[in-house]
Structure formats: C-alpha cells, structure tokens
Structure 1
Amino acid sequence: MNNPFASLAWLRSILSQANKQEIANLHMENQNFAYEGMTFKIGKYTFRSRRAKPTPKKKGYFVVFWEKDSDNNNQAYSYEDCPDHVIVHVIEHKQKGQFIFPRELLLKHGVLRTDDRKGKMAIRVYPDWEKDLNTSASSTQKWQLPYFIKGTTAAEIDALQNWYLKL
C-alpha cells in the first residue's frame, strides 16, 4: 500500500528491522487524515495511531483524540471502543519518538470518554527534549515520559524495536 503517512512508514521500518510481523487490519481514519489517523493490529494487540503537530506559540505537540458520533459530531474517544494502545508519533526535523499509551493510562488521566466522563478531544504531548515547561506542562510531561521512546539514535531505535518484539 502506497501511503504518504510518515508515521506509518517509520513504524513499518521499525517492525521490519525487528523482524516483527506486519501491520494487519490497517484502516485510515479520514476524519483525522491531517494527523495521520489510523487503526491497526500487530500480533494480538490493537492500536490507534496519530502524528502530533508542533505549534508555533506553545511548547509541546498537539494531537487530536476525537471521532465522529452517529450524528456526525466530534466526541472524545470512548474507553470501551479504544484499542489496547494509542501511539502518538512525534516527527520533527531530526527529533522523533513515539508515545505508546495503554488505554488504561489514558482513562486514568481523563483523556478517554466513559458514561460519567466527557474525555478530551485533544491533548498536548511533551517529549523529553521539551524543556523549561510551565507547571501544568511539566506535570503532564511527568506522566507521559515513561511511555515515550525516542527514535533518533541506533540505541533508541533498538529500544523501540524491543518494545514491539514484546508483543
């Protein structure tokens, strides 16, 4: 499949180098095309993937977390329908990495919608190269960083490959 998504090309490269099985059940999410939105399966696990975007006036990277409801209105992802993991790719110049969030973590931080929670339709992510953050951003970065794997050096790419090999 020929696809312009840099995040998909990078993920396929990581999996190929790790000799890991291919992506299955790939579905592009047209409503979030600008964020390279897609769902897929690797092994027995399901994933939703997005590419975060830098913003000119604020630190961090912005990424949408919404889908359309039956009336075509935007709503936060539902916990019930969320795949096992949500990958947020950060690819900018020579810096890149992946946040690989388990759905339970996104529920804990109020990102996913439930019957009694509205959820969030977008979040900001803060890779380890984002420094001098305000208090709120620092707090967010603190819970996000354990789920971030940088992918710039050979050792970092090995770490990403090892994460996928554990699936």
Structure 2
Amino acid sequence: MLESNTYRDELESLLMTGFVPAGYAITKNIELDPIPESAKYKALTFSLDDQGIIYRKGKVTADRPGAFLAIWQRPSSSRADSHKPIPFKHKELDYLFVQVEAHSNVTSAEESMGKPKSGMFIFPVAVLVKKGIVSSEQSKGKTGFRVFPPWSQDRGVTGTKVFSESGKKTQRWQLPYFVEIDDGLIDPKKLNEILG
C-alpha cells in the first residue's frame, strides 16, 4: 500500500506544481483505481475543473519502442462474462493522462542533447473515440494501447533499434497531446492548448 500512496502523492505533487499554477483546480480528489491489476500502471482517477480524468503511467518495455498501458474496467458482476475486462466508455471520462519516462538505457550523450526524460500525454476523450481506444457507438474500444513519446525511436543499448512505420504513424497523431515535464514543471501554454 505504501507504493500506491507514493505514486498518488507524486501525481498530486505534479498537479500542484504544474497544473494549479497554470490555473487548473483539482475538483475531485485523486483516488486509487480499485482494480488490483491496474496498480502496475499506477492507475488513478481525479478531476480538474470538473473534468473527469483517468491517469495511467506507461510501462516501458526493454525490447519495444514506446510505453504500454492498460485501460480497462471490470464489468458488473451480474453479467455472464464478468471476468472479462472491458474498455472504458466515452461517457466515463473527459481526458486520459498518460505519464511516461525515457528508457533507462539512454546514453549520457543523448541526455545532454536536451531530450525530455519525462512527459505526459493528455488525450481528450474525443480523440480516444476517433482512434477507437474508448468504446462508443462507432467502436468497441480497446483494453490497452502503446504510446510513443518523442524519444521512442531511441531504445538505448539493450532495446531494439526498430521503430516500425505503424509506430511512427501512431506517434504522429499522439505527439500534439504530449507535454514535457521538467522538474515537475509543465509549459502552461501547451496545457491550455490541450485542455482549453
């Protein structure tokens, strides 16, 4: 439980240093996702300016570019298939926040080039619907997907050097929703572009 409190506290600190000074108010306290399996993605929920937000931390895998995250919920126990995860519905969130960090094997020469080491994707629900990630009348949605921050093509010493065309295409639509985090600070102009 200590770890869950730690990542909850880390997000609250980020919100207090990066979002509140930019004019955003925390209108629903940060809560842990009740699904135990979601803890490995540091799953949380909260609201900013009465907008419902689901938060995940992307998991970096050693052999693939980008970071993976699970975004699902359990169906009500009255359903026959209640053990099978289901995607979030478009009415259940306004934004999906996905925090990411650079792979630990990035060399010091690359670090000195000023590449961001931490950042966050802030996806509006309309984009997630359009991309078929959350369920809607048009799409059944997904239970997980991969995000590709600016440094995805660089997997360091142990990672693969292959960054597929499919990954690059996904990265192109995702990058407009990416903000760099530098010592807990986020560019308020970029936040306003996405959240405004």
Distance 1:8 1:91 in 2: 17
Deviates more, 1:142-151 or 1:38-47: 38-47
Runs of 4+ in 1 over 6 A off after TM superposition: none
Offset, 1:36: 1.4
Aligned equivalent of 1:89: 99
Aligned equivalent of 1:135: 165
Q: Write the deviation string for residues 59-99 of structure 1: whole angstroms up to 9, x where unpaired.
A: 10011111111124311111232x11111011346711110
Looking at CA atoms only, which structure, 1 or 2, has the larger radius of gyration? Answer: 2
Q: Secondary structure at the match of 1:30?
A: coil
Offset, 1:28: 1.4
Q: Identity over the aligned pairs, expressed in percent?
A: 26
TM-score w.r.t. the length of structure 1 is 0.83
Q: Greater strand percent: which structure?
A: 1
Deviates more, 1:56-65 or 1:27-36: 27-36
Q: Secondary structure at the match of 2:90?
A: coil
Deviates more, 1:7-16 or 1:65-74: 7-16
**1:3 aligned to 2:14?**
no
Distance 1:147 1:64, change over 3 A: same
Alignment of 1:1-167 (within 5 A): 3-5=5-7, 6-18=10-22, 20-31=24-35, 32-70=38-76, 71-81=82-92, 83-92=93-102, 95-115=117-137, 117-131=139-153, 133-152=163-182, 157-159=186-188, 162-163=191-192
Distance 1:160 1:11, change over 3 A: farther
TM-score w.r.t. the length of structure 2 is 0.72
Aligned 8 A contact 1:17 1:161 in 2:
no
Q: Write the deviation string for residues 129-159 of structure 1: whole angstroms up to 9, x where unpaired.
A: 12262100001000000000111279x7234
Given residue 69 of structure 2, which amino acid in structure 1 is its aligned partner?
V
Segments of structure 2 that go 5 or more residues without pairing to the other structure are: 77-81, 105-115, 154-161
Distance 1:120 1:153, change over 3 A: same
Offset, 1:24: 1.9
Aligned 8 A contact 1:7 1:36 in 2:
no
Segments of structure 1 that go 5 or more residues without pairing to the other structure are: none
Distance 1:48 1:67 in 2: 11
Number of aligned residue pairs: 164
**Aligned CA-pair RMSD:** 2.8
Distance 1:30 1:147 in 2: 27
Aligned 8 A contact 2:97 2:120 in 1:
yes
Distance 1:18 1:3 in 2: 25
